[in-house]
A = this chain, B = another copy of it.
């Protein structure tokens, strides 16, 4: 077991997670309960996720903006279902300096209600549409459940996309674009497989017509929601009076979407890929992709350090670093970089020098790969790509191997009690889902893949009534 990690991942994943993310310098606790500190290790990863997502948003025609942190209470309460969803978790500013405010200000839990009065003002004609805006910001949801760093934090970072279209068709056409972007980020950068589909009626966003999500599944048998996309129809448009004059001079309400990816995904990624030695970072998001560790005695030091510098130079397009700190043994360094999840270690010792080679060590498998000095660059790129591919494949396999097709409620209960995902036909009504959750201590629908409509004769696993869609069910994290 790694230095300082007191439990195996398989024994107690919660304890393992907490120890790994704090001891590997990713995050720290703050003195504000439920709010964490993103240390440089985790923030650098978030920057990569944010910047890559942002590039794809911009290519898709979405523009960034920034709205105020504070929302006057009267705005927050304008859409009934929305306020019901968020009010219990709002942090309220009531005083400024030594004055008391006449109206409380909500610290944004999400920005619909501060943005849409502006949408109503800015959108006049069909020429002003589509309006596709995004913010990268911080939001606060004062949850009273047990906070878990990154996974359930009272303040978190995210993107919130808010778009308005002239027609429902155009709005809904954006769905595949956005989910495609999020899927690409999860797959190509974070090495995470997820199921893309519709959330249930019970689980959709407060104020949306329907919600789509990417749902992930952890080895520990817990389901967790990733990025989501909400089609709001005209619900907010009506609450905030967002109308435009169409080409026939008729007033129409706009059709809206919202979508988000949050820093919770970092937590999912750390929890999904790590092992008993610590983190395993997917190379595309690893701030250091390859660490070069020179191994030497006094008489070989100069030559080895020189060779290490040569390797570093060869790796011009790899985020690499030479760990030549004095006073730490190679073994100590190996442990530290393993704990921190550096995907590839490159060892260079006197014997390697004699043979004109280095040794690559994969973080995910521990495999040792001797490589001739002149081929290091190419091989490092290949191995990093292999590491990423393996992490993603493992993530996908874990999901697929966990799915149990169920046609009865007993099967569903068995599967989810055995840390599996139940895949079952469901009526998609609110009370049955509430009942399932209560009776099973926490099993919820994850989502229903696109195209998973039920056929004639398929009945709901809970009610026995005609079923609407096949849903994944899992114990929620």
CB distance from A464 to the nearest CB of B (A): 38
CB contacts (< 8 Å) of A91 on chain B: these are 70, 93, 95-96, 105
Chain A, 30-57, CB within 8 A of any chain B CB: 30-32, 35-40, 43-44, 46-47
Instruction: Report if A92-B90 is in contact (Cβ < 8 Å); known contacts: A44-B63, A68-B30.
Output: no
CA–CA, A138 and B38, complex, Å: 15
A28 and chain B: residue at smallest CB distance: B118
A63 touches B40 (CB 8 A): yes
A133: CB under 8 A from chain B? yes
A88: CB under 8 A from chain B? yes
A92 touches B89 (CB 8 A): no
CB distance from A372 to the nearest CB of B (A): 33
- The complex is assembled from copies of this chain, and their number is 2
Could you list which residues of chain A lie within 8 angstroms of chain B, going by C-beta atoms?
Answer: 28, 30-32, 35-40, 43-44, 46-47, 63-72, 75, 87-98, 104-105, 107, 114, 117-118, 121-122, 133, 137-138, 140, 142, 144, 155, 157
B64 touches A44 (CB 8 A): yes
CB distance from A24 to the nearest CB of B (A): 14
Instruction: Report if A65-B39 is in contact (Cβ < 8 Å); known contacts: A92-B95, A93-B92, A95-B92.
Output: yes
Instruction: Report if A40-B64 is in contact (Cβ < 8 Å); known contacts: A88-B98, A92-B94, A96-B91.
Output: yes
Instruction: Report if A70-B155 is in contact (Cβ < 8 Å); known contacts: A40-B63, A118-B37.
Output: yes
A37 touches B66 (CB 8 A): yes
The one of B37, B40, B66, B107 that contacts A107, using a Cβ cutoff of 8 Å:
B107
CB distance from A340 to the nearest CB of B (A): 14
CB contacts (< 8 Å) of A32 on chain B: these are 68, 70-72, 105, 114
A157 touches B97 (CB 8 A): no
CB contacts (< 8 Å) of A140 on chain B: these are 69-70
B70 touches A35 (CB 8 A): yes
A142 touches B64 (CB 8 A): no
Instruction: Report if A95-B97 is in contact (Cβ < 8 Å); known contacts: A40-B65, A65-B37, A68-B155.
Output: no
CB contacts (< 8 Å) of A47 on chain B: these are 64
Closest 10 CB pairs of A and B: A35-B68, A40-B63, A38-B66, A96-B142, A92-B95, A88-B97, A94-B94, A91-B93, A32-B68, A32-B70
CA–CA, A130 and B151, complex, Å: 31
Query: What are 30 pairs between A and B in contact, CB < 8 Å?
Result: A28-B118, A28-B121, A28-B122, A30-B67, A30-B68, A32-B68, A32-B105, A36-B68, A37-B65, A37-B66, A38-B67, A40-B133, A44-B63, A44-B64, A66-B157, A68-B155, A69-B140, A70-B91, A87-B97, A88-B97, A89-B96, A89-B97, A90-B97, A91-B105, A92-B94, A92-B95, A95-B104, A96-B142, A97-B144, A138-B138
CB distance from A332 to the nearest CB of B (A): 14
B43 touches A65 (CB 8 A): yes
CB contacts (< 8 Å) of A68 on chain B: these are 30, 32, 35-37, 155
CB contacts (< 8 Å) of A31 on chain B: these are 72, 75, 114, 117
